[in-house]
Amino acid sequence: MAQTDRSLQEATTSLSPEEVLVAAKRFFARRNSIYTAFLDKEGPAFVSLRGMGGEEVVVGVLVRDGVTVVSGSSYMFDQQVARFLSTLPPASEATVGTPPSQLPESAEVPA
């Protein structure tokens, strides 16, 4: 896979946007290697982390069709971004692409 194909990665999850951002900060701060990254900037829909040599990792979130879409981007930490995305619980296939108004009342929709 070419580097340009790995620099932006995306996944969907059942977690809320807030939970994803907290998980990203914890995941990258706990890396026990040159791939550790710490909070640089944050907002309600993103975190920007800085690692070794100033390498930047950005994780962004949004709610689309009742699920949380997570995007991660980094030039050198692409494998770690992929690992982080793989730790997120997947969005229920029953909710992907279903407008919130059509979900069963028992379905949880992220805020």
What CATH number is associated with residue 50? Answer: 3.30.530.20
pTM of structure: 0.77
- Residue that is written with structure tokens 């907002």 in the block: 43
Local confidence band at 2 (pLDDT 50, 70, 90 cut-offs): low
Asked if residue 100 belongs to a domain, the reply is: no
Asked if residue 16 belongs to a domain, the reply is: yes
User: What is the number of structural domains in the chain?
Assistant: 1
Asked if residue 110 belongs to a domain, the reply is: no
Asked if residue 103 belongs to a domain, the reply is: no
Model pLDDT, residue 62: 97
Q: Which residues contact 90 (CB under 8 A, 6 or more apart)?
A: 11, 12, 13, 14
Domain hosting residue 11, numbered range = 3-94
Q: For 17-55, how does the pLDDT look when each residue is reduced to its tens digit (9 = 90+)?
A: 999 999 999 999 997 788 899 999 999 999 999 998 899
Model pLDDT, residue 12: 97
Asked if residue 84 belongs to a domain, the reply is: yes
53 phi/psi in degrees, rounded to 5:
70, 15
Asked if residue 28 belongs to a domain, the reply is: yes
Q: Give me the sign of the Cα torsion angle 49, 81, 1, 14.
A: negative
